[in-house]
C-alpha cells in the first residue's frame, strides 16, 4: 500500500495551500460580511487551472486526477468553504456530467470554458417538494417540434447567481408528473438567459453569504432538442453517479474547514493564559485538540481512499458515502470544540471560529443529508 502523493498531486496541494493562505483567507471574513461575489479570486483560480484539474487538456483541463482535485478543494476550503462548494458544483458535478455524458458538441460549447474557469456551472435537482426524495421531481420537459419545453421550479441552487454562471443542468420528467418512475427523469442543459428561465430571490442564509444560491423558475422555457444530456431514461442515474464525486468533495471541504478550526484552536490555546499558564497545558483543552487532529486525519484518509478508487475506475459508492457522512459530522464536532476552546471570544465575529461554526452544519445537508448517506450505506451492505 502506497500512501504517498505523486509529484503532480503534491504540487497541486502546495499551490492550493499557498493560494488559500495568501489570497483566500485574508478576504474570507470581509466577503462573508458583505456577501460580495469574489470574481477577482475566481479569475485567479481560473488562471491556476483549478476548475479543470481532472479533465484532459483537449477539454480545457490539465490532465490530472480526482485526488489532485480534492486536495485542491480541501486546501481552498481551509481558507473559505464557499470556494470549495463552487469547485464541487462546477467541476465535480456539472463539468463531470458534461464530460461523462455530453455529446462532443456539448463538451466543446460548455465543458471547455468551464474547465478553463471562464464559466461556472450549476445543477438543479432539488425542488420544493423533492429534496432527499429527489425522484419526486415535478419539473416537466415536453418535446414540441425541435424544442424541449420546461416547466417547474428548482430551489437552493448554488452558483447560478454568479454573472459567470453559464448553465444549469436540471432533472425533469418527460411523462406524467403523477408517476414516480425514475426512468422517466432525464437531464437537460439550460443556459442562463434563456427566455422563460428566471432566477428567484437571492436566499438570505445563515452563512455562506457570498455563495450565489437562488431559486430557478422555468415557465414555458424552450431549449433546443440538442440540449438533452446523456441517455434517454438515464438522467436520474447519471446525476446520482456524479453526485458520488460530489460527496467526496463535501468530505474534502469538511476536512479543510475542520483543519482551519484545528489550526485556530492550537494557536489560541498556546497563547491564551488562564490560571497563570497557556490553556493548552490543561488536558481538558489539549485532549480536545488531540482528538481534532486524529479525526481530521481519519476523515482525510477516508476521502483520499474514495478518490483513489475513483481514479482507478473502481466502485466507490460506499466509500464516498462513508467519507461524506464521517467528515461532515466530524467537522461539526471540531467546529464546536474550536468555539469552546475560544471561550467567549468564539462568539465574537472578529474570531474566525464563529464563522467556521456557522458554516459547518450545512455540510451535513448538501449532496445528501447524513440520513441519506446512512440510507445509501445500509442499502449497499448486502
Ligand atoms: C446552501 C445550499 C446549497 C444547495 N445547493 C444545491 C444545488 O446546487 N443543487 C441542488 O439540486 N440542491 C442544492 N441544495 C439542496 C440540498 O441538496 C437539499 O437541501 C438536501 O438534499 C435536503 O433536502 P431538503 O432540504 O428538501 O430536506 P428534506 O428532504 O425535506 O429533509 C428534511 C429532514 O428529513 C430527513 N429525511 C428525509 N427523508 C428521510 C428518510 N427517508 N429517512 C430519514 N430521514 C429522512 C432529512 O435527512 C432531513 O434531516 C442546497 C441546499 C443548501 C441549503
Residues paired with 170 in a beta bridge: 124, 188
* Residue list, ligand 1 pocket, CB within 6 Å: 89, 123-126, 131-132, 156-158, 208, 213, 362, 365-366, 369, 371-372
**Whole-number Å distance between alpha carbons of 203 and 184:** 30
- Contact call for residues 210 and 331 (beta carbons, < 8 A): no
Q: DSSP assignment, residue 316? A: -
- Contact call for residues 200 and 219 (beta carbons, < 8 A): no
**Whole-number Å distance between alpha carbons of 202 and 35:** 11
**Whole-number Å distance between alpha carbons of 357 and 21:** 20
CATH class of 236-379: mainly alpha
Task: Tell me how far the alpha carbon of residue 367 lies from the centroid of ligand 1, in angstroms.
Answer: 8
Which residue, by CA, sits nearest to atom 52 of ligand 1? 156
- Among 325, 366, 376, which residue has the most ligand 1 atoms within 8 Å of its CB, making it the best to mutate? 366
Using a 10 angstrom Cβ sphere, with 0-12 exposed, 13-18 middle and 19 or more buried, the burial of residue 381 is: exposed
Q: Report how many helices (DSSP H) and strands (DSSP E) the chain contains, helices first.
A: 13, 10
Atom of ligand 1 nearest to the CA of 368: 21
Beta-carbon count within 10 A of 225 CB: 11
Task: Tell me how far the alpha carbon of residue 15 lies from the centroid of ligand 1, in angstroms.
Answer: 33
pLDDT at 340: 98
**Whole-number Å distance between alpha carbons of 268 and 45:** 30
Q: Three-class SS of residue 174?
A: coil
Domain segments of the chain as ranges? 7-118, 122-234, 236-379
**Whole-number Å distance between alpha carbons of 93 and 99:** 10
- Among 132, 160, 204, 240, which residue has the most ligand 1 atoms within 8 Å of its CB, making it the best to mutate? 132
Strands 165-173 and 214-224: unpaired
Q: Three-class SS of residue 4?
A: coil
Closest CA to 113 of 166, 56, 53: 166
Per-residue pLDDT of the chain (382 residues; tens, 9 = 90+): 899 999 999 999 999 999 999 999 999 999 999 999 999 999 999 999 999 999 999 999 999 999 999 999 999 999 999 999 999 999 999 999 999 999 999 999 999 999 999 999 999 999 999 999 999 999 999 999 999 999 999 999 999 999 999 999 999 998 755 556 667 899 999 999 999 999 998 999 999 999 999 999 999 999 999 999 999 989 999 999 999 999 999 999 999 999 999 999 999 999 999 999 999 999 999 999 999 999 999 999 999 999 999 999 999 999 999 999 999 999 999 999 999 999 999 999 999 999 999 999 999 999 999 999 999 999 999 8
User: What global pTM score does this model have?
Assistant: 0.97
Residue 156 has which C-alpha cell?
A: 437552493
Atom of ligand 1 nearest to the CA of 132: 29
- Grid look-up 489550526 returns 263
pLDDT at 290: 98
Strands 197-202 and 273-274: unpaired
Task: Tell me how far the alpha carbon of residue 123 lies from the centroid of ligand 1, in angstroms.
Answer: 14
Atom of ligand 1 nearest to the CA of 369: 47
pLDDT at 181: 65
pLDDT at 178: 57
- Grid look-up 460530489 returns 246
**Whole-number Å distance between alpha carbons of 140 and 221:** 10
Q: Which CATH architecture has domain 122-234?
A: Beta Barrel (2.40)
Which residue, by CA, sits nearest to atom 48 of ligand 1? 369
Catalytic site residue from 232, 263, 367, 371: 367
Q: What is the CA radius of gyration of the chain?
A: 21
Task: Tell me how far the alpha carbon of residue 37 lies from the centroid of ligand 1, in angstroms.
Answer: 24
pLDDT at 116: 98
Closest CA to 165 of 227, 214, 102, 126: 214
Residue 240 has which C-alpha cell?
A: 446520482
Atom of ligand 1 nearest to the CA of 372: 47
- Among 159, 167, 190, 365, which residue has the most ligand 1 atoms within 8 Å of its CB, making it the best to mutate? 365
pLDDT at 201: 85
Residues paired with 151 in a beta bridge: 140
Task: Kindly state which CATH superfamily the domain 7-118 is placed in.
Answer: Acyl-CoA dehydrogenase/oxidase, N-terminal domain (1.10.540.10)
Atom of ligand 1 nearest to the CA of 160: 8
Annotated catalytic, 367?
A: yes
Q: Which backbone phi and psi does 282 adopt, to 5 degrees?
A: -90, 130
pLDDT at 179: 58
Q: What is the DSSP string of 266-315?
A: HHHHHH-EETTEEGGGSHHHHHHHHHHHHHHHHHHHHHHHHHHHHHTT--
Task: Tell me how far the alpha carbon of residue 74 lies from the centroid of ligand 1, in angstroms.
Answer: 23
Task: Tell me how far the alpha carbon of residue 267 lies from the centroid of ligand 1, in angstroms.
Answer: 35
Q: How many residues does the chain have?
A: 382
pLDDT at 180: 63
Amino acid at each position: 500500500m502506497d500512501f504517498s502523493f505523486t509529484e503532480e498531486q503534491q504540487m497541486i496541494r502546495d499551490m492550493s495551500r499557498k493560494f488559500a493562505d495568501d489570497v483566500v483567507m485574508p478576504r474570507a471574513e470581509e466577503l462573508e460580511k458583505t456577501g460580495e461575489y469574489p470574481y477577482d479570486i475566481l479569475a485567479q483560480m481560473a488562471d491556476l487551472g483549478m476548475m479543470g484539474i481532472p479533465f484532459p487538456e483537449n477539454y480545457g483541463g490539465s490532465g490530472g486526477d480526482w485526488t489532485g482535485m480534492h486536495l485542491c478543494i480541501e486546501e481552498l476550503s481551509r481558507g473559505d468553504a464557499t470556494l470549495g462548494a463552487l469547485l464541487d458544483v462546477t467541476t465535480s458535478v456539472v463539468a463531470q456530467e458534461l464530460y461523462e455524458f455530453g455529446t462532443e458538441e456539448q463538451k466543446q460549447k460548455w465543458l471547455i470554458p468551464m474547465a478553463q474557469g471562464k464559466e461556472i456551472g450549476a445543477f438543479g435537482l432539488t425542488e420544493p417538494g423533492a429534496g432527499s426524495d429527489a425522484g419526486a421531481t415535478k419539473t416537466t420537459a415536453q418535446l414540441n417540434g425541435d424544442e424541449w419545453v420546461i416547466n417547474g421550479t428548482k430551489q437552493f441552487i448554488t452558483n447560478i447567481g454568479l454573472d459567470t454562471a453559464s448553465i444549469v443542468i436540471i432533472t425533469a420528467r418527460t411523462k406524467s408528473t403523477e408517476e414516480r418512475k425514475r426512468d422517466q427523469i432525464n437531464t437537460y442543459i439550460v443556459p442562463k438567459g434563456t427566455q422563460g428561465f428566471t432566477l428567484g430571490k437571492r436566499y438570505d442564509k445563515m452563512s455562506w453569504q457570498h455563495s450565489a444560491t437562488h431559486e430557478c423558475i422555468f415557465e414555458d422555457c424552450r431549449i433546443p432538442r440538442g440540449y438533452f444530456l446523456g441517455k434517454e431514461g438515464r438522467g436520474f442515474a447519471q446525476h446520482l453517479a456524479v453526485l458520488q464525486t460530489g460527496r467526496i468533495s463535501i468530505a474534502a471541504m469538511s476536512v479543510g474547514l475542520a483543519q482551519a478550526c484545528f489550526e485556530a484552536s492550537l494557536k489560541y490555546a498556546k497563547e491564551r493564559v488562564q490560571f497563570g499558564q497557556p490553556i493548552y497545558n490543561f488536558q481538558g483543552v489539549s485532549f480536545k485538540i488531540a482528538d481534532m487532529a486524529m479525526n481530521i486525519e481519519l476523515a482525510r484518509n477516508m476521502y483520499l481512499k474514495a478518490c483513489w478508487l475513483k481514479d482507478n475506475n473502481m466502485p466507490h459508492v460506499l466509500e464516498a458515502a462513508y467519507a461524506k457522512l464521517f467528515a461532515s459530522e466530524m467537522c461539526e464536532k471540531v467546529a464546536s470544540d474550536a468555539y469552546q476552546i475560544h471561550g467567549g471570544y468564539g462568539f465574537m465575529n472578529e474570531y474566525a471560529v464563529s464563522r467556521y461554526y456557522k458554516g459547518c452544519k450545512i455540510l451535513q445537508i448538501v449532496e445528501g443529508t447524513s440520513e441519506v448517506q446512512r440510507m445509501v450505506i445500509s442499502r449497499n451492505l448486502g
